[in-house]
Amino acid sequence: MRAAAPPEQSPDAGSRSQFLPLFPLGIVAFPGELVLLHIFEPRYKQLIAESADSGSSFGIVTVVPGGA
């Protein structure tokens, strides 16, 4: 697994980093929607575990096969 580049900060962010982990999925999910997930890939299991442990959010991005 390749190391991610450090998150960039916006000028008004102060000392807080602006970082949102993304989970690619073949569905459209709306904020607050309950989505039951079966996570099996180690990198995504780590993403979910770190989000749960820290109480932070993660984003779900729609993946369309053959899409741009």
Task: Find out whether 34 and 44 touch, Cβ atoms under 8 Å.
Answer: no
Q: Is residue 41 situated within a structural domain?
A: yes
Number of domains in the chain: 1
Is the Cβ–Cβ distance between 63 and 25 less than 8 Å?
Answer: yes
Residue 55 in any domain: the answer is yes
Residue 31, in any domain of the structure: yes
Domain that holds residue 31: 22-62
Please tell me the predicted confidence (pLDDT) of residue 65: 81
pLDDT band at 50 (very low <50, low <70, confident <90, very high): very high
Whether the CB-CB separation of 29 and 60 falls below 8 Å is answered with yes
Per-residue pLDDT of 16-32, as tens digits, reads 668 899 989 888 888 88
pTM surpassing 0.85?
A: no
6, part of any domain: no
